[in-house]
Structure 1
Amino acid sequence: MEPSDVRRSRSPFDLIMNQIRRKRTTSDRKSTSGRFLSHQVDSGGISEDRETEEEKGGTSVAPDPADLEDGVCDMGWGRVCVFVQRLGKRADSRTLSLAYCDLTATDALELATLLPCLSLLEELDLSWNELIGGSLRLLTSHLQNVGRLRILRLSSCRLAADDIMALGEALEFLPLLEVLDLSWNAGVGGGALQGIVGKVHPTLTELHLVACQLTETDADVLGSVVSVLPRLRVLDLSCNTHLARTQTPTEGGGMYKSTAEVDRLEGLFLSLSQTPSLTSLRLHDCGLTGGSLNLLGGSFQCLGSLCQLDLSCNKGVAGGLSILCPHLAVLSHLSSLDLHLCCLTREDLRALIEVLPSLPELTKLDLSSNKEVGGVVSDIVPALPLSQIKLLPLNGCRLTYESFSSLALAMPYLRRVDVSWSKVVGGRLSLLLNGLQPSILQELRLSSCDLTTEDLLHLAAVCRRRILSTLRVLDLSYNRGVREEGWSGLLAEEGLGSLEELDVSLQTLTSNPSPLTWLPALLTALPRLPALTRLSLQRWTLTTQAREQLNHSLRKRNVLLEVDTPTSASSSKQERAEEAPCEE
């Protein structure tokens, strides 16, 4: 008799006993008679349980009985449910997320014993459980029971070298693994990465090693890992500041760059030629230098699919971007280029401007926090594919009047606009707003722009025309020059129905208290902001009555209200009093 025939021939008594073996809680059970009467002849106990929990919006999704052996996992699935629900999570036969559960070594061992009952598991997330560091072998020694696993996340688990070695041994039993995330584990760096060399299957498409304290020595090892991953699409090595640059103290106590830094990265960047499917390369804050960029550029010829390139927060590339830019021209599918906080020079920017016309699919160019950008925006904007560009953040770029006027040309296409910390905006906001098209802009950030009352009234007029109907984020913080009529005029309009975040905070330690005199306008506007999830009013002076009115208006809404507590206000006054003599 075939196994399927055995399942169909089970008696109702067997079905009831299978339900009892699940060890489910009383609150999740139906009456035995009800279950018996509604049961179909060819259905197993597990599938009926799944229907029950799905109908209730329940906490678990059981495996399909057609995929499991009779009896073996009936009892096991009940144990899985008890274990997962005890941690406040949802049991699912294909996806198991136990992130932020404070798992211990004992929990890891118990989970290991349950893996044979999770043969259908495709995603396992144990991130942010620092107590399992040093004991991962208890779990990895049983990973052969989940051979269908496609996603494994172990970020911020305090993994040590022994853990990585144990993981490497287990990876051989995961031939379908596509995503491996070991981010925020300092123990991965310093040579431990050697434990997974030759163990990762070529099916891997994403490798995340953010903030793993990788060194230049690890770069060679990483090159060996990447070179055998032809399907790799995402490689994230962000926040490994010593990956490309190691500083060694001299005899006199000074610091100098290691001469081996370029040679070490050569192996890694050469290995990228074996990853033709790579679409996202993230090297944020990796200590890159001009020499690093030269080596990286040489690999672009083999990366025709690259769409996202993040080189941000690498101040060492200053003056070296001109070496990389000619290589960027071959990345015809590049859609996102992030160069914020790279201390770019005028020479770097001129080289970038020359290559921009060769990037027709570019939708995001982040040059923020580069002071020299402000002087060349008038050249950057015409070089962009304006019909494609969606994000062009220019906060902290020392915009000039000429560059600010040039930015207006891109306004009809931008989804997000950020010109924060640009004093030139004050009194000239209309130049930007007049170019907006209806239902396009989603974020508008104007923090510390010296905005005036007239600027906000002009913004109110734009709202009145329903131009900002899709706006989700509006940041008007640190603009003390706006008077009451400006705030009230903006809040009186009805064109911000999609707004989710509103920030009108003031600067820290302002000299004079700022009473929220426009509170009535705010209270009237809140019902017209149904999507609001965050409202920041920090450093505004609120009376006890005003606080009560705000809380009452938001009592039935899930809105994060950010206001200063009376204690913090008193503290601010004390700090100002202490600083006053110093200012004198």
Structure 2
Amino acid sequence: MSQTRKKTSSEGETKPQTSSVNKFLRGSKAESRKENDDLKTTDSQPSNWIQKTAPSETAKPLSSEMELRSSMEKYEQFLQKLGKKAVNKCLDLNNCGLTTADMKEMVALLPFLPDLEELDISWNDFVGGTLHSITQQMHLVSKLKILRLGSCRLTTDDVQALGEALEMIPELEELNLSWNSKVGGNLPLILQKFQKGSKIQMLKLVDCTLTSEDGTFLGQLLPMLQSLEVLDLSINRDIGGSLNSIAQGLKSTSNLKVLKLHSCGLSQKSVKILDAAFRYLAELRKLDLSCNKDLGGGFEDSSAQLVMLKHLQVLDLHQCSLTADDVMSLTFALLAWKGAWKQESPSSMLGRWLVCAQVIPLLSNLQELDLSANKKMGNSSENLLSRLRFLPALKSLVINNCALESETFTALASVIQTGHLAKLRKLDLSYNDSICDAGWTMFCQNVRFLKELIELDISLRPSNFRDCGQWFRHLLCAVIKLPQITEIGMKRWILPASQEEELECFDQDKKRSIHFDHGGFQ
């Protein structure tokens, strides 16, 4: 009987230790109550049984259990102090205003989080200079899959310590070091431990002051990152000079789904360099080349491979100084010609037009298109917008501040009326102040066909105020027939008294909430 009780008691002492770890990771109150019950059961054993049990067999489990419970309480108090809640296998301390003392407290808790998979301490300035205290514990959280250290003011010593520690977390799938200027010039120190077969899927290095040498190193590293799906190098203006190396590396990342090169100092030549890599990126879903002001003119003869991105859903080319010929070339990127697109395309623009008599859609999965802040495209945008009918999945169209003309609106209204943009949810036409009242009237008469539209913006520039024409009445009539719309931007349009009354009546009679964002009519 004594031996039976001893065995049962031993199992009871071991079990609370396991449940304590689980509760610590999950923040489960139920597990805590179970621990207390188990401990009471153990403590209630007869004294003669306790005397027969060797002290060495009971002291260690009880000590371990008390240590775990104490650490669990400290963990919950730590999170509560920062306004956070325990989440299974995740420690999210993003933008918590961590102090040096908080960092020490967090580091002391890491040994009790062996199953941790996500650690986010981004946007905490005091992380800088203390990262080594965390990296020294990386071997205790070897199951880590996500590590986010964005905007932590990392020092050179920090990034060096990180490079040495990454070898200890082979399961890493996401690394975000964005907005840390000391990463620039030190990228090889950080990523040198990445070997072929790395599981990294997401690499974000936004605004890290990357140098041309960093870009060259990255290009050489990319072939080792076979699982890479997201690469964001935005706001690193010096990597344009090493784009040849990066593009060469991209040819080996066939699983890439998102490529962001926003504000990276790209030039006309960059388009041709990237164009050669696009043929290898068949799975690409999102391409962001925006805010590269020297890119203008690069698309004139270099969009052949862009059209092959048949899975592309988001294309962002805003503020790229696109020329009329760029727009013409992009127009052909929206379609191809039967029997001719596989052959060498005609060199002249006229020749391209002639072979487009019969067309088949490409980029048919495109859902978001942003061409805003390209003022030179105004004269040639009519042809582009008229071919939006070849984008049946389009949900967001942003063409603000493009110097659009009334003819452009006419082309857009042929497309809308025929129902080819039936899935459009967001339409931004703001800062196109040159559109005459007749153009606005034609547009407002046809906007009622955009049945899934949620957001419409037709605001004027901040420096320009203008009287509303009779088209406003057509807009109100159209809005009634749009069941999903909730937001209409009309900043700096001036309503006469009669139209203000119409809007007030509309606001009173409507059965659903529609916000007219006019900033106060004058």
Question: Could you state the TM-score of these two structures normalised by the residue count of structure 2?
Answer: 0.72
Q: Which residue of 2 aligns with 1:473?
A: 455
Deviation at 1:240, TM superposition (A): 0.7
What is the aligned counterpart of 1:111 among 106, 111, 126? 106
The CA distance in 2 between the partners of 1:386 and 1:273, in whole Å, is 20
Is 1:193 the equivalent of 2:187? yes
Amino acid across the alignment from 2:83: G
User: How far, CA to CA, are the matches of 2:81 and 2:423 in structure 1?
Assistant: 45
The alpha-carbon deviation at position 11 of structure 1 amounts to 11
Partner of 2:507: 523
Render the CA deviation track for 1:221-272: whole Å, top value 9, x for unaligned: 323443421211211111111112xxxxxxxxxxxxxxxx3xx443333333
Within a 5 Å distance, the mapping from 1:273-422 to structure 2 comes to: 273-300=251-278, 302-322=280-300, 324-328=302-306, 331=309, 333-349=311-327, 352=330, 357=335, 384-385=361-362, 388-395=365-372, 396=375, 397-399=377-379, 402-403=382-383, 406-407=386-387, 409-410=389-390, 414-421=394-401, 422=404
Q: Residue 470 of structure 1 aligns to which amino acid in structure 2?
A: E
Mapped to 2, the partners of 1:157 and 1:394 lie a distance apart of 33
Deviations 1:64-117 (A, max 9, x none): xxxxx9655433232222111211122113122211111122222211111122
Correspondence for 1:91 among 86, 92, 104: 86
For 1:504 and 1:214, locate their aligned partners in 2 and report how far apart those are by CA, in whole Å: 40
Query: Per the alignment, in what secondary structure is the counterpart of residue 218 of structure 1?
Result: helix
2:362 and 2:390 in contact (8 A); partners too: no
> Which residue does 1:537 correspond to in 2?
518
Q: Is this contact kept in 2: 1:505–1:538, CA < 8 A?
A: yes
RMSD value, Cα: 4.6
1:223 is matched with: 219
Contact persistence 1:211–1:239 (CA under 8 A) = yes
Provide the identity percentage: 32
Note the C-alpha offset of 1:132: 1.7
Q: CA deviation at 1:518?
A: 4.5
Q: Identify if the C-alpha distance between structure 1 residues 505 and 355 changes in structure 2 by more than 3 Å, giving closer, same or farther.
A: closer
* Cα distance in structure 2, aligned partners of 1:387 and 1:272: 24
Task: Name which structure has the greater RCO, CA cutoff 8 Å, separation 6+.
Answer: 2
Change (3 A) 1:18 1:139: closer
Deviation at 1:403, TM superposition (A): 3.4
Distance 2:320 2:65 in 1: 60
Q: CA–CA distance in 1 between the matches of 2:379 and 2:299?
A: 21
Q: Are the structure 2 counterparts of residues 239 and 513 from structure 1 closer, same or farther at C-alpha, using a change threshold of 3 Å?
A: farther
Aligned counterparts of 1:218 and 1:513: Cα–Cα separation in 2: 61
In structure 2, the CA distance between the partners of 1:313 and 1:493, relative to structure 1 (3 Å rule), is closer
Aligned to 1:161: 156
Flag the 1:492–1:413 CA change in 2: closer, same or farther, 3 A: closer
SS in 2 for 1:92: coil
SS at match of 1:344: coil
Cα distance in 2 for partners of 1:340, 1:435 equals 27
Deviates more, 1:73-82 or 1:147-156: 73-82
Measured against aligned partners, the alpha-carbon deviations of 1:380-404 in whole angstroms (never above 9, x if no partner) come to 9967438544444454531569538
State the alpha-carbon separation in 1 of the partners of residues 358 and 130 from structure 2: 54
Equivalent-residue separation in structure 1 for 2:99 and 2:307 (angstroms): 50
State the SS of the aligned residue for 2:168: coil
Match of 1:102 in 2: 97
Q: Is the 8 A contact 1:226 1:275 kept in 2?
A: yes
The residue aligned with 2:349 is none
Say if 1:412 and 1:435, in contact at 8 Å, map to a contact too: no
Q: Decide whether the 8 Å contact of 2:285 with 2:314 is kept in 1.
A: yes
Match of 2:140 in 1: 145
1:503 aligns with 2:486: no
Match of 2:344 in 1: none
Give secondary structure in 2 for the equivalent of 1:196.
helix
* Residues 76, 207 of structure 1: alpha-carbon distance in 2 compared, 3 angstrom cutoff: same
Change (3 A) 1:359 1:145: farther
* Residues 171-215 of structure 1: per-residue CA shift (max 9 Å, x gap): 1111100010111111211x1212213223511111111111112
Shift of 1:513: 11
- 1:443-481 CA distance string (max 9 Å, x none): 122324547499569747864xxx444322121322844
Structure 1: tracts of 5 or more residues without a match: 45-68, 245-260, 361-375, 542-584
**Gaps spanning 5+ residues in structure 2: where?**
42-63, 339-352
3-state secondary structure, aligned to 1:231: coil
After TM superposition, the score normalised by the length of structure 1 is 0.65
Distance 1:482 1:174, change over 3 A: same
Aligned mate of 1:174, from 158, 169, 177: 169
Q: Which residue of 2 aligns with 1:9?
A: 12
Superposed displacement of residue 316, structure 1: 2.7
Provide the C-alpha distance between the structure 2 equivalents of 1:338 and 1:181, rounded to a whole number of angstroms: 22
- Aligned partner of 2:341 in structure 1 is none
